[in-house]
A and B are shown apart, each in its own frame.
Chain A
Amino acid sequence: MKSNQNDAEFRLAWIGMGLAAPAGFLLAILYVLPLLCLLLLSLTDYELGATTLRWLGTENFQRAWQDPVFIRSLKNTLVYMSIVIPGGVLLSLLVALLIHQRVRSRSFYEVIYFLPVTSTMIAMATVWQFLLHPKLGFINAALKAVGLGETAFITDPSWVIPSLALIGLWQMIGFNMIIYLAGLSQIPQEIYEAAEVDGVHAGWERFIHITWPMLTPTTLFVVVTTCISAFKVFDTVLALTQGKSQSEVVLYAIYLEGFQYFKMGYAAALTLIFLALIFAASSIQLLKMDKKAHYA
Chain B
Amino acid sequence: MGSSLSVKNISKGFGINKALVDVSLNIKPGEFVSLLGPSGCGKSTLLRIIAGLLNADQGDVALNDASILGLRPNERNIAMVFQNYALYPHMSVHDNIATPLMMSSFPFWARQPLIRNFWPGNRSTNLSIDEKVLSAAKGLQIEMLLDRKPSQLSGGQRQRVALARAMVRSPAVFLMDEPLSNLDAKLRIQIREELSQLHKSLGATFLYVTHDQTEALTLSDRVAVMDAGQVLQFDTPQNLYQKPANLTVAQFIGSPQINCWEMKADSLGRLNQGEWLVQGNLQLSVNSKVTLALRPEQIQVSLNASEFSQVVDLRVKARVTRLENHGPEWIFWAEPTTGKPIPLIVRASTKSMPKISVGDILWLGWLLQDCLIFDPQGQRLDINLIPGSQA
The interface of chain A, by Cβ under 8 A from chain B, is 188, 190-191, 193-201, 205, 208-210, 213-214, 216
Contact = CB atoms under 8 A, between A and B. Distances in A.
A208 B78 contact: no
Contact of B86 (A191, A199, A205, A214): A191
The 4 lowest CB-CB distance pairs between A and B, nearest first, are A199-B103, A199-B74, A194-B86, A190-B86
B90 A196 contact: no
A209 B102 CA distance: 11
A188 B112 contact: no
Contacts of B90: 213-214, 216
A194 B74 CA distance: 10
Contacts of B87: 194
B99 A196 contact: no
Nearest to B72: A201
Given A198-B103, A199-B103, A201-B72, A193 B165 contact: no
Contacts of A208: 112-113
B79 interface: yes
B interface, size bucket: 20 to 34
Given A208-B112, A209-B113, A197 B83 contact: no
B53 A197 contact: yes
Contact of B52 (A190, A196, A209): A196
23 contacts: A188-B84, A188-B86, A191-B86, A191-B88, A193-B48, A193-B80, A194-B82, A194-B86, A194-B165, A196-B52, A196-B72, A197-B78, A197-B79, A199-B72, A199-B99, A199-B103, A200-B103, A208-B112, A209-B113, A210-B88, A213-B91, A214-B89, A216-B90
A161 to B, nearest CB: 33
A216 B99 CA distance: 20
B104 A199 contact: yes
B100 interface: yes
Interface of B: 48, 51-53, 72-74, 78-80, 82-84, 86-91, 99-100, 103-104, 108, 112-113, 165
B99 A190 contact: no
A200 B112 CA distance: 12
Of A196, A201, A213, most B-chain CB atoms within 10 Å: A196
A6 to B, nearest CB: 35
Contacts of B72: 196, 199, 201
A193 B44 CA distance: 13
A209 B52 CA distance: 21
Contacts, number: 65
Given A208-B112, A208-B113, A197 B51 contact: yes
A101 to B, nearest CB: 16
A256 to B, nearest CB: 47
A261 B53 CA distance: 67
B51 to A, nearest CB: 6
A193 B103 contact: no
Contacts of B73: 196-197, 199
Contacts of A190: 82-84, 86
A233 to B, nearest CB: 34
A207 to B, nearest CB: 11
Nearest to B80: A197
Contacts of B82: 190, 193-194
Contacts of B48: 193
Contacts of B78: 197
B125 to A, nearest CB: 15
A216 B104 CA distance: 26
Contacts of B108: 205
Contact of A197 (B74, B91, B113): B74
Contacts of A194: 80, 82, 86-88, 165
B206 to A, nearest CB: 15
A194 B176 CA distance: 12
A200 B99 contact: yes
A208 B73 CA distance: 19
Contacts of A214: 88-90
Given A209-B113, A213-B90, A216-B90, A198 B84 contact: no
A199 B71 CA distance: 11
A198 B165 CA distance: 9
Given A198-B103, A200-B99, A200-B103, A193 B74 contact: no
Contacts of A210: 88
Given A190-B83, A208-B113, A198 B99 contact: yes
Contact of B74 (A188, A191, A198, A209): A198
Contacts of B74: 196-199
Nearest to B74: A199
Contacts of A193: 48, 51, 53, 80, 82, 86
A57 B21 CA distance: 84
Among A188, A193, A194, A201: residue with most chain B CB under 10 A: A194
